[in-house]
Amino acid sequence: MASVIGVPAKSSGVGGSNVLRVGKVFRAVVLGAVGLFFIVPVISSARFSFTGSSAGFSFSAYSKLLSDPQFWSTLFLSVKIGVGTVTLSLAILIPTTVWVHWKAPKIRRVMEALSLLPLVIPSVVITLGVITSFGSLPNIIMGTPVILALEYVVLALPYTYRTLDSGVQALDIKTLVEAGQSLGAPFRKILWWVLLPNLKSGVLGVVVLAFAFCLGEFAVASLLSFTTFAVYLVQIGQTQASEAIAFSLIALLFTWIPLSIVTVVFSRRAGKKSRRGGGVLMSSQSVTELVELSE
Amino acid sequence: MTVSSLGEDRESEGGFGGNNTSEPIKGSATRSVVRFLKYGNWRRFMGVLPFIVYLGIFLLIPAISVVVDAFKGDNGNFTLSNFSIGFSGVYFESFKNSIQLSLFSAVISTVVGLLVALAIVASPGRTLRAVVTAGSGVFANTGGVPLAFSFVATLGNFGLVTELLTKIGYNPYNHGFSLYSVLGLTIVYEYFLIPLMVLIMIPPIDALRKEWVDAAASLGATRIQFWRYIGGPLLAPPLLAGFLVLFTDSFAAYATAAALTSGTIPIVPIQIGSLISGNVLVGHAHLGNALGAGMIGVVIIAAIMYGFVQRRASRWLR
Amino acid sequence: MMEMESSKTVPAGVSVQGAKVQGVSVRLSKVTRTYGDVRALSELDLAASPGEFVVMLGPSGCGKTTALRALAGLEQIDSGAVYIGGKDVSRLPASKRSIGMVFQSYSLFPNMTSAANVEFGLKVRGFSSAERRKQAHEMLEMVGLIEQADRFPHQMSGGQQQRVALARALAIKPEVLLLDEPLSALDAKVRANLREQIKQLQREVGITTFFVTHDQEEALSLADRVAVMNNGNLEQFGTPTEVYSSPETDFVASFVGTVNVFYGTVLDDKVAIVPNVGNFTYVRRTGTPAPGDRAEILVRPEAITVKGDLEGEYLVSDVTFLGSNVRIRVQKEGSTFTIIQGSSDIDIVAPGSRASLDAKGSAILVRSKL
Ligand SMILES: Nc1ncnc2c1ncn2[C@@H]1O[C@H](COP(=O)(O)OP(=O)(O)O)[C@@H](O)[C@H]1O
Ligand SMILES: [Mg+2]
């Protein structure tokens, strides 16, 4: 590491605010190698999806996929689950986050920590627990994808809660609510007419994150034997690799594009009120910042 | 992972907006308890009750039931036999594999993520940094099935990289490599673990002040001494905490491994999965619960270590 | 507090015993540093005698910090040389220069207690831990923070942190002490207090010191000599009295202290006249207009008195009580003049009344009318 830091660079006009002087070569090598690692799978997938294992360029993987009725039916199922999850998430989280900021700011950190709990318990274990504890519930819940939506609300919490929480924090909730009350509006109306319109970007973030989560979730769905989009993808992957890869590429792009938008929007907003030089060891904060939809 | 931050909410932030009328400033303790009940201090927490209840039903009850049932035999009586099977033979191996997989992938991504974070934090322009940060945010969210298949296209038997390597006379599959092994999974996991580490390490590296470097230099310290006594100790806790997060993350990961190996690789989540999917050992219906309880145990150990790291660091945290 | 100026044979570098350090001479010679198009230092020459307290004063961005950092070796210089104790150290890195440095703020290592911070310089020099502890103890005692020895920086006030930083800088027994606006992040009361402490410590230790500030009051009260800087150049280098009473350039005249600009005539080599105010003595220098010419006459607030006068040309706009002094502002034809008088004279004028002015001392500068 000493060699990493030891290369002195001439201080340049702009920036240079950080203590670390890192050599250009070091930077190029590290970012180049890591960049390659991230790009090659995308290129490989693209190539594979167009050629399969045979030679020659074709769209056959894509056209076969799109003409497969099961592709559409599983996609439709995942979208339905996604809509349910998003709706339920918003219904629970908007009042909760607003309330926390308005009435109980002291428990903000606790709430945040609670929202991260699903990261601690592996989703396989949660699934097992769902089967163990809800196995005897009526079929209308356990036998239908409703249970998926119910669980996805919890599993997506680490991403959705924080997003909305930071959206609410950007508002001066106390003032808004009190202004509304002074005009005689009940809380429900204030929520609907005053707060929601101001929460647009936070709500949008929740929608994108929760939806992306639902489309990609595999563990719970497959273990509870529902053929969702992701489960179907794995099934065709057993037999038709190039379709599965074409499919994956589409799925990746479909999560990356909205996620990049959300990331850019949110990082821009966070940048405005960035608190540099605060605590060095803000890792507890930064860990909470991690957004990780892998499973 | 972050349960420990529960204990840290005594920090300054709690002060904001807390200057309410309900804050008892004078008067005895009993009086303030009475006031708490009478004037509805508790009502302030009513608003979060739905959230708590929901979390309790759909997260805590399942988690607890896993642990409780792990101690039940098929007849419902208390037994430890689930554990004695769960921690021996093939299941013991899969715990070993899982921990090995998580350790390796977490170590690699910690190192690489740190290097990337160092490279971009010190870069002069803002653009590179913005691009890498945004990219990390996106890639950290990539995982599961699509990721598995894009690696099949890359490092699978007929993958692009495999093909290129074969052309230059080194077919990795002839040298003991397989994408569908623990080593292969380690590589695949890096795809979402490295960006995560980058995101974790940027703020603490950012917070290192130029004054500390200058002060150390003026006091006669070399750069190595600066890193040994100041930079290193300051970055170690977030690095360690990040490592534990990554460890937990890859320990719990299921989808990528399941999709990549069709559920054949012997790691704990996959074993639990196949027990759920009906491959139940006769006489041990609750074996999966024992494995699940074992996973929770490992994660709790990581969480405790995480809390310990945070506590150590909080001595000098403002 | 041992013998005053001891023998000159003390070796350069670290002397271990006692707080008293032999001051050394320090010289910047034609030091230039540019950042892109910005010339932060242009051929700066500055020399301090052994044990001297030099304050570098100038507006923000004039290159003070750059000069100090060049001296410390924290900033590379494009050309020129730095001498410490007669030795050319231009090529030495900061860690080899025997410099104690105090920064504006946040420079204490957050992961170390005050004592560990103070010990740090000794630690990297390989002192035994017993020796380090003893010296850190002495240093903390010197700055009056022995009770805070086991505190972490975030547990101390800004003023305490700066005192620890000072102790840390002095613990290595440096040849030169550099302070870059060490007080500017503190509140007024603490600042005044610490200012006194720094001055006293410097006297006791006898170390050659460079202190950067943009606060002129701080500069004048602390310095043996003040180096007034502007645009990377040295404008004037002299005692506080010289800089205040006989500024060599327009910049110094207007930057240091308050000045009143009167229009008048040069009478002869020693005296200039402001109509209806009186005669001010002045010192000729190059560029002073010839006798008989019209001139701008720059006068300090203390060199004028004001008295109530119904026929007076000046309108009193403001009277501010400052304790032992009173500051009076008067106006004439859109120009404002400031006068400082002892507070016993306060009954002389009231806001809104008319007044006339009288010359009482000398002009700091006489220049041709712009
Ligand atoms: N690292 C740097 N990069 C670019 N310009 C700089 C840098 N440091 C200082 N400068 C420029 O050099 C000039 C002098 O700066 P400085 O010495 O910090 O001034 P002062 O301390 O007197 O306020 C300023 O114009 C400043 O913008
Ligand atoms: Mg400065």
**Predicted ipTM of the assembly:** 0.80
pLDDT of residue C30: 92
Confidence band, pLDDT 50/70/90 cuts, at residue A77: very high
Which of B220, B229, B318 shows the shortest C-beta gap to C125?
B220
Give the burial class of C179: count Cβ atoms within 10 A of its Cβ; 0-12 exposed, 13-18 middle, 19 or more buried: buried
By the CB < 8 Å criterion, does B221 face chain C?
Answer: yes
Ligand 1 atom, smallest distance to C232 CA? 14
Nearest residue (by CA) to ligand 1, atom 17, is C63
Give the burial class of A41: count Cβ atoms within 10 A of its Cβ; 0-12 exposed, 13-18 middle, 19 or more buried: buried
Chains within contact range of chain A (3+ C-beta pairs < 8 Å): B, C
User: What topology does CATH give the domain C258-368?
Assistant: OB fold (Dihydrolipoamide Acetyltransferase, E2P) (2.40.50)
Phi/psi at A95 (nearest 5 deg)? Answer: -60, -40
Give the burial class of C48: count Cβ atoms within 10 A of its Cβ; 0-12 exposed, 13-18 middle, 19 or more buried: buried
**Beta strand pairing call for C53-57 and C208-213:** parallel
- Using alpha carbons, list the distances in angstroms from residue A106 to B12, B17, B24, B42, C300: 10, 8, 15, 13, 57
pLDDT of residue A204: 86
Residue recorded with tokens 């106390």: A174
Residue extents of the structural domains in chain B: 1-39, 40-70, 79-314
Q: Do B125 and A14 touch (CB under 8 A)?
A: yes
The secondary structure of C151-214, three-state, reads CCHHHCCHHHHHHHHHHHHHHCCCCEEEEECCCCCCCHHHHHHHHHHHHHHHHHHCCEEEEEEC
List own/partner pairs for A57-64 with CB under 8 A and 24 or more apart.
A61/A242, A61/A243, A61/A245, A61/A246, A62/A246, A64/A240, A64/A243
Q: Report how far residue A281's alpha carbon sits from residue B239's, in angstroms, rounded to the nearest whole number.
A: 10
What residues form DSSP beta bridges with C48?
A: C26
CATH 2.40.50.140 residue ranges of chain C are: 258-368
Ligand 1 atom, smallest distance to C180 CA? 21
Q: SS3 of C86, please?
A: coil
Phi/psi at C268 (nearest 5 deg)? Answer: -150, -160
Which of A20, A96, A124 shows the shortest C-beta gap to B118?
A20
DSSP codes of every residue in C111-164: TS-HHHHHHHHHHHTT--HHHHHHHHHHHHHHTT-GGGTT--GGGS-HHHHHHH
Residue pLDDT, tens place only, A208-259: 888 888 888 899 999 998 999 889 888 888 787 777 888 788 877 877 777 7
pLDDT of residue C230: 92
Q: Is the confidence at residue C342, as pLDDT, over 60? A: yes
- Using alpha carbons, list the distances in angstroms from residue A67 to A60, A72, A73, A77, A229: 10, 9, 11, 17, 15
Residue pLDDT, tens place only, C63-92: 999 999 999 999 888 999 999 988 899 888
Packed helices B287-314 and B61-69: angle between N→C axes, nearest 10 degrees: 120
Estimate to the nearest angstrom the gap between the alpha carbon of C2 and the chain centroid.
Answer: 27
- Using alpha carbons, list the distances in angstroms from residue A186 to A92, A179, A196, B277, C236: 19, 11, 15, 50, 70
Mean pLDDT of B269-274: 90
More confident residue, C110 or A64: C110
Confidence band, pLDDT 50/70/90 cuts, at residue A266: low
Mean pLDDT of B102-111: 96
Q: Report how far residue A217's alpha carbon sits from residue A223's, in angstroms, rounded to the nearest whole number.
A: 11
Which of A13, A277, A280 shows the shortest C-beta gap to C36?
A13
CATH 3.40.50.300 residue ranges of chain C are: 26-251
Chains within contact range of chain C (3+ C-beta pairs < 8 Å): A, B
The number of beta carbons lying within 10 Å of the beta carbon of residue B11 is: 14
**Beta strand pairing call for C99-102 and C176-180:** parallel
User: What number does CATH give the domain B79-314?
Assistant: 1.10.3720.10
User: What number does CATH give the domain C26-251?
Assistant: 3.40.50.300
Residue pLDDT, tens place only, C170-205: 999 999 999 999 998 888 888 888 999 999 989 888
Q: What would the two tokens of residue A155 be? A: 């599993």
Give percent above pLDDT 90 in chain C: 40
Contact by Cβ (8 Å): B87, B310: no
| Chain A / chain B CB contacts < 8 angstroms | 420
Q: Is the confidence at residue C169, as pLDDT, over 60? A: yes
By the CB < 8 Å criterion, does A280 face chain C?
Answer: yes
Residue pLDDT, tens place only, C4-52: 333 333 333 333 344 455 688 999 999 999 998 888 998 899 999 999 9
Mean pLDDT of B145-158: 87
What value does the mean pLDDT of chain A take?
76
CA dihedral C316, C317, C323, C325 (to 10 degrees): -40
Q: In sequence order, which ranges of chain C are alpha helices (DSSP H)? A: 64-72, 114-124, 129-142, 158-171, 188-205, 216-222, 240-245, 250-255
By the CB < 8 Å criterion, does C129 face chain B?
Answer: no
The angle at the Cα of B140, spanning B136 to B142, to the nearest 5 degrees, equals 120
Estimate to the nearest angstrom the gap between the alpha carbon of C240 and the chain centroid.
Answer: 8
Contact by Cβ (8 Å): C213, C56: yes
pLDDT of residue C287: 77
- Using alpha carbons, list the distances in angstroms from residue B77 to A180, B65, B282, B286: 58, 15, 16, 11
Q: Report how far residue C308's alpha carbon sits from residue C325's, in angstroms, rounded to the nearest whole number.
A: 18
- Using alpha carbons, list the distances in angstroms from residue B97 to B75, B177, B265, B267, C194: 32, 16, 9, 6, 62
